Structure 1
């Protein structure tokens, strides 16, 4: 809900945008797209274009289509084995023609002979080798090392975990140079426990940007503070601050964005379908009156139809 379709943008960049540092293999489900219940398909329409998502009966994403026009679109296909990602294919279509030069395939292999290890091979549809990733996990199941190999050489990303005075920090280092750190801690405010996640990004090992996010016990995002690093003062300086408000069902009602001396407020109005899951099918953002619509189909509707027949 508070994600505001951030994941819709991020997941298309998932594995193919690993130029900065490798990321752990992620499996996307209906929850990542603000969906509930046994959703089969979801067609999202905005003034910018259309997105289509297909899920299997376990709620795993199996196909996504991003349409820029009737003839230009991208398709991403996912295959699984026992809930593990087995294959991901990113296909490009322009003027209704498949473009193999810009289409790539990701193949995953799981090795559990000792600690968990995942091997990812990336090749183009022109049969050109692009990258090979090996993800190593410790005996607790945490990702600890990622090795990337391509024609330019080999890079190693280490993932370090530290606990100190109630804070939990995960640090990513590429060839021993810091890339990113994520620190998680808790605090009590007005009698309620809140989770604080501070993410710092580094550029060539030097601090660059940061984001601090505050979540409630239901994982709803309450506050988001952005920072830029001031090289002269050698500290992070706050920039944009956003606060979020929800209704009793956890739906985002409004957000207030403060940037310097300017403040902007956005309000959200929803229309829901008649299904028990209660998914929204239209979202209006005021005062711009921009809107997003969703057309959703369910697996259970198909089952009920077969029973009636």
Structure 2
């Protein structure tokens, strides 16, 4: 009976997908966890109440809602903006280092664009869209009404992605013991911060919605990706609407100076270095390109 129900749902979904003007809308919840005990420095001298206050203020940066609007080949992925209560942590948005902006993907034309603002300047970032080297697994699980399959991928880490940053030398005592030695290759960001060069990503996709798309930069699987686990970040689909009554606008972003991903990363890295230097000289952190 279970298999018959699954088969029926698959036929219904495929029938919906086969419609000429097929569109879909998926809502994703993104959550990043931070181990504040590893920060060291002033954090170690703070009370639990002070740490909780900081964690509450950072919640708007660590927990976000995104909307993926998609058709058979293209998609738009952007944050579901909501008004924040006064004092709810807007100061922790970290400008261009957050997950803001609009990401466009076209899996047929192999076009990936991201419209993003950083320090008052708008960028239109183009990415090389090569087929991701997913390793497909046989493990399954249900997410809502959809049967999902597991896939994994090893990828290079974006040097500006704060979600994967960590304190350097935080495990010195463990590293002295061969059994606990950390062999992960890292890149030095500052004297105190490092970031791994590569990271393993786990995806859960459903063939019941046969579009090769997913949240953020992710695509290339035989079905819509409903969950991503990447380091300390989990992105989980909480709602899917197929062929919504209101037509979705899925168009390439055009706003911003056109740059490659490398050019954007280089510009941001340079600006953040200037930011750190200016703070060190006591000139504050405000600045523009």
Which TM-score tier does this pair reach, normalised by the shorter chain? Answer: under 0.3
Kindly indicate which of the two structures has a greater share of residues assigned to helix: 2
TM-score (norm 2): 0.25
Kindly indicate which of the two structures has a greater share of residues assigned to strand: 1
Greater relative contact order (Cα < 8 A, sep 6+): 2
TM-score (norm 1): 0.24
